[in-house]
A and B are shown apart, each in its own frame.
Chain A
Amino acid sequence: MHVIVCIKQVPETSNVRMDPQTGTIVREGVESIVNPFDLHALELALRLKEQRGGRVTAISMGPRAAETAIREALSMGCDDGLLLSDRAFAGSDTWATSRVLSAAVRKLAPFDLVLAGVRATDGETGQVGPGVASLLALPLATYVSSVLELTDGFVTVERLIEEGYESLRLPLPCLLTAGKEVGFPRLPTLRGKQRARRQEVVHRGPTDIEVDAARVGLAGSPTRVTAIERPTLTRTGRIVDAARIGAGRAAAELADFLQEHHLL
Chain B
Amino acid sequence: MAVWTLAEQAGGRLKRVSYELLTWGRHLADGLEASGRPAELCAIALGARLREEDLEELTERGADRVCVAESPGLDPFLVEAHAGVLEMLVRWGRPEIIIAAATTAGRTLMPYLAVRLETGLTADCTRLEIDPDTGHLVQIRPAAGGKVLATIMTADHRPQMATVRPHAAQPPPRRPAAPALGACITRVDVPDGLAESPVEWLALRAEQAAGAAVQDAERVVAGGRGLKRAEGFGVVRNLARALEAAVGASREAVDRGWIGYPHQVGLSGKTVTPRLYVAVGISGAIQHLAGMQTADVIVAVNEDADAQIFQVADLGVVGDLFEVVPALVEEVERRRAAREGDG
Q: Are A163 and B206 in contact (CB under 8 A)?
A: yes
A214 within 8 A of partner (CB) = no
CB–CB B121/A241 < 8 A:
no
CB closest residue in chain B, given A135 = B115
Q: Which of B118, B142, B201, B323 contacts A166 (CB 8 A)?
A: B201
Contact A250 B205 (CB under 8 A): no
Distance in angstroms between the alpha carbons of A141 and B76 in the assembled complex: 13
Shortest CB-to-CB span from B188 to chain A, Å, is: 22
Give the docked Cα–Cα distance between A254 and B323 (Å): 13
Q: Which of A127, A248, A261 has the most CB of B within 10 A?
A: A127
Contact check: which of B124, B153, B204, B320 meets A163 at CB < 8 Å? B204
- Docked complex Cα distance between A235 and B199 (Å): 49
Q: Does B189 contact A (CB under 8 A)?
A: no
Pick the interface stretch among B22-30, B99-107, B223-231.
Answer: B99-107
Chain B residues closer than 8 Å to A141, beta-carbon distance: 199
The listed residue with most A CB atoms (<10 A of its CB), out of B219, B316, B319, is B319
Q: Which residues of B203-249 have CB atoms within 8 Å of chain A's CB atoms?
A: 203-209, 212, 219, 243
Task: Tell me if A134 and B319 are in contact (CB < 8 A).
Answer: no
Contact A255-B331, Cβ < 8 Å, known A23-B148, A163-B204: yes
Q: Are A223 and B153 in contact (CB under 8 A)?
A: yes
Q: Is the CB of B152 within 8 A of A225?
A: yes
Residue-by-residue, is A12-25 near B (CB-CB < 8 Å gives 1, otherwise 0)?
01101010000101
Check A29 for interface membership: any CB of B closer than 8 A: no
* Cβ-defined partner of B104 (8 Å) among A162, A225, A250, A258: A162
- Chain B proximity mask over A149-160: 1 for CB below 8 Å, otherwise 0: 000000010111
The stretch of B39-47, B89-97, B173-181, B304-312 that contacts the partner chain = B304-312
125-165 of chain A: CB within 8 A of chain B: 125-131, 133-135, 139-143, 156, 158-165
Known: A18-B148, A233-B312. 15 other contacts (CB 8 A): A16-B147, A126-B123, A127-B114, A140-B80, A164-B207, A166-B205, A168-B201, A225-B143, A237-B298, A237-B312, A240-B315, A242-B324, A243-B318, A250-B327, A261-B297
Residues of A participating in the B interface, judged by any CB pair closer than 8 Å: 13-14, 16, 18, 23, 25, 93-95, 98-99, 121-131, 133-135, 139-143, 156, 158-171, 174, 221-231, 233-243, 247-248, 250-255, 257-259, 261, 263-264
Residues of B participating in the A interface, judged by any CB pair closer than 8 Å: 10, 76, 78-80, 83, 103-105, 107-116, 118-124, 142-145, 147-157, 197-209, 212, 219, 243, 267, 275-276, 286, 289, 297-299, 305, 308, 310-320, 323-324, 327-328, 330-332, 335-336
Q: Kindly list the 9 A-B residue pairs having the minimum CB-CB distance in the complex, ordered from nearest.
A: A242-B319, A222-B120, A223-B120, A251-B327, A164-B207, A127-B111, A247-B323, A233-B311, A227-B151
